[in-house]
Amino acid sequence: MEKAMLETRSRERVPKPRLYSLSQYLVREEKAQEKHEFYNGIIRKMPGGTFRHNEIASNTLTSLKAAVRGLPSPYRVLNSDQKIYIEPANTGVYPDALVICAEPVFYQGRQDLITNPLVVVEVLSRSTASYDRQGKFLLYQQLPSFREYVLIEQTRPEVETWFREEENLWRKTVVSGLDAQVLLRALGVVLPLGEVYENVLFPETKK
């Protein structure tokens, strides 16, 4: 009985997280030295990226820009500083890279909040892989413009894509190996994994 009472009191003492409005978050983020994401009132600090993570993200950005250059559709490739805002979930997140088609659509005219990504890229980390595959993917799916999700491993040359064929139907494709190419169906281009992983040193695999 006493144990149950102590556990109840302990739960009661746990402070509830402070909730912020989107405007308050944006003001804080403009002054912050580190990146934070916004989840319906809750501000969460993003983990810092490793050298390998950053190199893969940079390579992917370069490869994407080269792949879409000269295409009939005016695609724009943006880096990890561009926030995506998902209005139905009142959530603002940073992808590792994204592609939009034609003109960007900003939330309430704010150029730091884009709402019409076509392709979103995430480089998987041990601490965030599960969330990127599930929670973040579900958030992105609430955006009508969102057509393709690209998940890039950083411990081995492997890329997973999810392409929206219909409203609730996604096609999963996995390609592996430095000689392979990943087809981005939303753009009609291929990315060589040799470019995505250029100069990347993978951790040694224990035998």
pLDDT digits (tens, 9 = 90+) for 193-205: 999 999 999 987 5
Length reported for the chain: 207
Mean pLDDT of 185-192: 97
Q: Which residues on neighbouring strands pair with residue 97, listed in sequence order?
A: 121
Could you tell me the pTM of the whole model?
Answer: 0.89
Please provide the average confidence, as pLDDT, over all residues in the chain. Answer: 92
| pLDDT surpasses 80 at 5 | no
Kindly list the distances between the CA atom of residue 64 and the CA atoms of 61, 95, 121, 125, 193, in Å, as whole numbers in the listed order: 5, 15, 10, 21, 12
- Contact of 191 with 60, CB cutoff 8 Å: yes
Instruction: Return d(Cα 9, Cα 130) in angstroms, integer.
Output: 33
The 10s digit of each residue's pLDDT in 71-104 is 999 999 999 999 999 999 999 999 999 999 989 9
Mean pLDDT of 152-174: 96
Residue 8 binned pLDDT confidence (cut-offs 50, 70, 90): low
Instruction: Return d(Cα 157, Cα 200) in angstroms, integer.
Output: 9
Instruction: Return d(Cα 156, Cα 26) in angstroms, integer.
Output: 36
Consecutive H or E run containing 139: helix 135-140
Kindly list the distances between the CA atom of residue 72 and the CA atoms of 5, 92, 119, in Å, as whole numbers in the listed order: 68, 30, 17
Residue 207 binned pLDDT confidence (cut-offs 50, 70, 90): very low
Q: What are residue 83's phi and psi, to 5 degrees?
A: -80, 145
Amino acid 203: pLDDT: 86
| pLDDT surpasses 70 at 1 | no
Amino acid 45: pLDDT: 92
